[in-house]
């Protein structure tokens, strides 16, 4: 192990980090349980949670504009405006990111976000007096199998989420896009568990802050990568203990038919470093490692796993994309764990707190 760490330190030094991986890991380990993506300058977060059933949406506002990138790894995504984030395309900044429940119906909530921003004169200047077009990429998760499927986030929900937005402490668990989130569904919803939305942040020694927020609705199980402990996932047939999906599959336990697109983990990493679109895209790619460390299996044919990366550009510290990408994966993993640990049970779907 010592030789491995030495090689990592040598590599980090050759990349110009000025310090090894150890300070980063220490910072991550010491990050506060109530840290949030709103620790990043220029970021606000607002939730709307529908009281009629567990569903909702979450908006990440960047009212002054932010450079953005995206990486989609799941095979069944539901998204909006992701092509615009390609580095070769025209528009350079976004004004919000929307994460929503409600499957494809939930993309309607982005209309409400646009209306909110337009009412405040925020958007892309198209050269027409009095008209600016807010740029609001979005991703959705499938939660129609929890409660009344006819109840979905709409434009009013997106607008209200914006009204609720602030740069203060972010609520976690059964709120916003995480209200109807579940995990461990390879053996059917009757053996699944409740999940939610979580957030975390890290401030690097050089002054840059990296934050993440994620709604965890994976078909797979969730683990704590620090000790490989299974936190939530598929349950045994009697529902009283965790099964371990991959171990059960290896033992030959039969899987029921699964429908693609009925899961998905969606999230955002944000930082106050000054980046371009190509750099944000690379960081979004690397942030998916945080999902791979905590969710197993992940990026499946049944998931639409999508991560956005945002750069508010308000911190003048020198930028190293590799460092920021590696840190984004760390903070995304922490946010996934928070999404599980802050979730509360609902009828038929226990939380990690119930089976720990």
Q: 317 and 207 in contact (C-beta within 8 Å)?
A: yes
- Residues 24 and 272: their CA atoms lie apart, in Å, by 17
Give the pLDDT score at 257: 80
pLDDT of 96 reads 98
Written as tens digits, the pLDDT of the chain (356 aa) is: 333 333 333 333 333 333 333 344 443 434 444 599 999 999 999 999 999 999 999 999 999 999 999 999 999 999 999 999 999 999 999 999 999 999 999 999 999 999 999 999 999 999 999 999 999 999 999 999 999 999 999 999 999 999 999 999 999 999 999 999 999 999 999 999 999 999 999 999 989 999 999 999 999 999 999 999 999 999 999 999 999 999 999 998 887 787 777 899 999 999 999 999 999 999 999 999 999 999 999 999 999 999 999 999 999 889 999 999 999 999 999 999 999 999 999 999 999 999 86
pLDDT of residue 260: 74
Contact 213, 290 (CB under 8 A): no
The pLDDT assigned to 261 comes to: 77
CB neighbour burial string for 272-310, b if at least 16 within 10 angstroms, e if fewer: bbbbebebbbbbbbbbbbbbbbbbbbbbbebbbbbbbbb
Instruction: Name residue, tokens 């937005």.
Output: 165
Q: Is the peptide bond between 297 and the residue preceding it cis, with omega within 30 degrees of 0?
A: yes
In whole angstroms, how far apart are CA 292 and each of 100, 225, 241, 325? 22, 10, 23, 14
pLDDT of 34 reads 57
pLDDT of residue 356: 65
Residues 79, 23: Cα–Cα separation, whole Å: 36
pLDDT of residue 18: 36
User: Which pLDDT score, from 0 to 100, does residue 16 have?
Assistant: 35
**In the prediction, which pLDDT does 262 show?**
86
SS3 at position 113: helix
């Amino acid at each position: 192990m010592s030789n491995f760490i030495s090689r990592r330190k040598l590599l980090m030094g050759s990349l110009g980090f000025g310090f090894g991986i150890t300070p980063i890991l220490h910072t991550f380990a010491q990050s506060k349980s109530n840290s949030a993506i709103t620790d990043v300058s220029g970021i606000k977060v607002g939730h709307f949670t529908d009281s009629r059933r567990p569903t909702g949406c979450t908006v990440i506002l960047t009212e002054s504009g932010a450079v953005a990138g995206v990486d989609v790894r799941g095979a069944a995504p539901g998204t909006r405006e992701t092509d615009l984030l390609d580095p070769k395309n025209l528009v350079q900044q976004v004004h919000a990111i929307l994460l929503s429940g409600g499957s494809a119906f939930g993309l309607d909530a982005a209309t409400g976000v646009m209306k909110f921003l337009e009412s405040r004169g925020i958007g892309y200047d198209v050269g027409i007096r009095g008209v600016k077009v807010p740029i609001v990429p979005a991703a959705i998760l499938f939660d129609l199998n929890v409660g009344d499927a006819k109840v979905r986030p709409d434009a009013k929900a997106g607008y209200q989420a914006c009204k609720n937005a602030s740069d203060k402490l972010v609520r976690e668990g059964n709120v916003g896009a995480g209200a109807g989130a579940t995990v461990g569904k390879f053996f059917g919803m009757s053996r699944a568990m409740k999940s939610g939305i979580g957030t975390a942040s890290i401030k690097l020694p050089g002054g840059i802050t990296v934050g993440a927020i994620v709604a965890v609705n994976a078909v797979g199980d969730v683990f704590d990568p620090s000790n490989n402990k299974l936190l939530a996932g598929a349950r045994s047939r009697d529902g009283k203990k965790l099964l371990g999906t991959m171990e059960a599959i290896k033992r030959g336990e039969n899987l029921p038919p699964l429908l693609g697109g009925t899961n998905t983990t969606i999230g955002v990493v944000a930082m106050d470093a000054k980046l371009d679109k190509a750099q944000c895209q690379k960081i979004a790619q690397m942030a998916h490692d945080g999902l791979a460390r905590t969710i197993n299996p992940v990026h499946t044919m049944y998931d639409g796993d999508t991560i956005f990366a945002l750069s508010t550009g308000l911190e003048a510290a020198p930028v190293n994309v590799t460092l920021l990408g590696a840190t984004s994966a760390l903070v995304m993993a922490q946010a996934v764990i928070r999404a599980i640990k802050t979730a509360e049970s609902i009828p038929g779907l226990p939380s990690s707190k119930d089976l720990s």
